[in-house]
Amino acid sequence: MKKLTLLLACLPGIVEAAAYQGGTLEQALEQLRAGGIALFYSSDLVKPWMRIEREPTATEPRALLIEILAPHGITVSDGPDGALILVREVQRSPRQAAPGAPHRPAPAPLDAVVVSASSYLFGSETPQLPAVFSAGDLEMLPDIGEDPLRAVSRLPGVARQDFSSRVHLRGGTDEETLVRFDDLRLYDPFHFKDFYAIFSAIDPGIVSDIRVYTGGFPVTFGDRSSGVVEVSPRLPGRQLHGQAEFSLFTTGVSLDGSYNDGAGDWAVAARRSNLDLFFDLASQSLGEPDYHDLFAHVGHRINDKFAISANVLAFVDQIKATDTDQEETARAEYKDAYYWLRLDFGALDGFGGRMLVARTELGSERTGTTDLPGITAGSLSDERDFNINSIQADAWWRPGTRSVLQAGAEWRQLSGQYRYTDDAAFELLFLTPGAPTMATRASSALLRPSGHQAGAYVNWRFEPTNTLTTDLGLRWDRETLAAGDGSQISPRAVLMWRPRMDTRLRLSWGRYFQAQGINELRVSDGARLFSPAQQATHKVASIEHDFTPALTLRLEAYRKDYSKVLPRYELLMNTLVVLPELRPDRIRIAPDSAEAEGAEISLNYDAGAFNGWLSFSSSKVYDRVDGQRLRRRWDQRSYASGGLSWRGASWEASVAGTWHTGWRTTALELQTLDPFPLIAVGQRNALRLSDFASIDMRIARRFDLGTAGELTAFVELNNLLKQGNQCCVDYQIETEFDPAIFDVEVQDSLPLIPSAGFTWKF
């Protein structure tokens, strides 16, 4: 026992000199062994792909071990002569679990959302991030449709239209965000892509954690210029576990377990929409939306160093959308499928890596007609198919406690086909650059693009002193879809200084390139050639201070400068239409450059049963077109968000509020009716709609079912105060009057949205 006491007395110094978040569990245990701790465990218990997703807060040795082992269903037992033995945690009912312990050995369905400008994992650094949502917090967040990606919009620097799950990170377009699942890139992973992208295609039942980089992200991520949403899948447990969920929006079930005495594991999850039920209860006829998604995984540990897995992720959507006046109808079907093999490698000398070999298949069919008196009439047919074969490899080596070297490469083979036809007859035209200039249009296209993308990076993370940290990276990318030389070099650097143990200052600079994806050519808007990659330069400065272990303040300022900006197509006025290509206010925007800047402040509180956050940001984003600075539509000058959650023995509740200045809009005026209605347009996005405000609430009750698991029943209310938030402006020529009248009407965003359901964990 004296030997154990001596070892435990020495361990705090060892712990302080090591960082664990982001590394494998095996690496952490071997670091502790190297410091003199006698640890024993089976290779069937600790697998090479087990990662530490959050930096432990405990400093007492046994508590630290319990904290990093708990998410994997492992705990610590005393062995002979002061040794510590790792054993499988005994299954307990939720009421029997110790305070703060997980309800079951497998990780929670949504472990954490971690938000940062970058990840800094050096030496004794424990990064404090602008917003951290635990598993319980995320489950309690009152977000429509149980969509985990909607939580992103509650963060400073993020803008989102209420109807959609797509986000704008620090002024960027919604196409500038990279979304990855299990390190594999997902292409536009949203249900009903051309119909506001109401929900993301990420099933919360398969998610371990989500990390959001709002800017200044590392060189490991390429080909997007604003931010990253990185989703890690849930790791299967040794025993059979499952979860079933039903609500007014979705029905889903997930199962996971192991085989071959823990040498292998498996997981499967399926989900479908209940939007038909929701519309029936709401007595609304908005169409016939339906979606399904599926995830399957099987993995096997080859030996103590290698593990391999096969994975499938598939989304299927079908929708028939009709407006309430039966004047605009569209049908669409989407099929996205991802297949990948993953090989993980980890050795005891700090060297490890991973390799992914994948195939992506994207397909969509969309048809529609519109007959809107005073606006437009027409039809379209749009079919698209894409195949993407890819291989990527990453490796890292820790030569010492103060340095980490990383390197990686990726390659993609791209091919696809666009088949598009349309015809349109406009009843008015807008006098603004980029808008249609003819009253009628008929177009068709058959394109079969193909090409390659390649990328490689190196990164060196080094801690020259106990208070100074550097992160230096260089990335190279090349693509062949656009004409000309598609090679780009992206240097990135971070400097972090810690003047005190409770304070961290960071400076970040980086260059980011974004090529137009094979699935992003705007054929329906007349584009026939891919554009060269756009460039963005990020500059970020931040300071963090820990008032207490539970209370952290962060202030951050950023600037983002764009050059070679990718052209985009937008509706000048109402964005909530099902066939935007057939509208006369569909305009092409091709800025010469763009800029976004802002400042953010956030306060986060995490004290066990009570958690809360409060944030405020001030920002602006401009396009520069022909010497003019024009605001982007999603320019949010001021944004505030806050929330509080409480979890008791059986009850839990949360409330979240959001406020921001109104969305941008443009002044319109009828100029002439003879010989054709022409609309004069003021400076684009010079006006604002009214401010947006919403309070959302969730209340849940948990029931212990003994050996059958746990049942949680919940009720959610979004836009609790029924705020009539303005979202957009519609228009038309009223021809029944003499003379005709140009009518402009402001429309509201979502009304009060209720939901209820239950989750059964077994």
pLDDT tens digits, 509-519: 999 999 999 99
Phi, psi dihedrals of residue 614, rounded to the nearest 5°:
-150, 130
Mean pLDDT in residue range 318-345: 87
Residue pLDDT, tens place only, 608-618:
788 888 999 99
Please choose, from the candidates 603, 497, 495, the residue with its C-alpha nearest in 3D space to the C-alpha of residue 546: 603
pLDDT of the residue at 568: 96
Residue pLDDT, tens place only, 294-307:
999 999 988 878 99
Residue pLDDT, tens place only, 233-261:
888 877 898 999 999 899 999 999 999 98
Q: How many CA atoms lie within 13 A of 238 on its CB side?
A: 18
Is the alpha carbon torsion for 626, 628, 633, 637 positive or negative? positive
The continuous run of DSSP H or E covering 25 comes out as helix 25-34
Q: Is the pLDDT of residue 677 over 80?
A: yes
Of residues 611 and 316, more confidently modeled? 316
Mean pLDDT in residue range 191-212: 87
Amino acid at 712: T
Q: Is the pLDDT of residue 123 over 50?
A: no
Give the integer Cα–Cα distance in Å for 760 and 243. 6
Q: Helices 2-16 and 25-34, interaxial angle, to 10°?
A: 120
**Cα 231 to chain centroid, rounded:** 7
Residues carrying CATH 2.40.170.20, the chain? 114-761
pLDDT of the residue at 43: 57
Q: Is the pLDDT of residue 36 over 70?
A: no
Q: Which of 49-53, 129-133, 436-440 has the highest mean pLDDT?
A: 436-440
Mean pLDDT in residue range 29-55: 69
Q: Is the pLDDT of residue 689 over 70?
A: yes
Residues carrying CATH 3.55.50.30, the chain? 2-90
Give the integer Cα–Cα distance in Å for 507 and 500. 17
Q: Write the CA distances from 133 to 44, 137, 591, 713, integer angstroms.
A: 31, 5, 37, 21
Question: In CATH, which of 3.30.70.141, 3.40.50.1820, 3.40.50.1860, 3.55.50.30 is domain 2-90?
Answer: 3.55.50.30
Tokens of 485: 């030389």
pTM equals 0.84
128 near 138, Cβ under 8 Å? Answer: no
State percent of the chain over pLDDT 70.
85
**Cα 483 to chain centroid, rounded:** 31
Give the integer Cα–Cα distance in Å for 24 and 731. 57
SS3 27: helix
Contacts of 90 by beta carbon, 8 Å cutoff, 6+ apart: none
418 near 446, Cβ under 8 Å? Answer: yes
Q: What mean pLDDT, rounded, does the chain reach?
A: 85
Q: Is the pLDDT of residue 137 over 70?
A: no
Give the integer Cα–Cα distance in Å for 250 and 272. 6
Give the integer Cα–Cα distance in Å for 640 and 734. 40
CATH of domain 114-761: 2.40.170.20
Least confident range of 176-180, 463-467, 662-666: 463-467
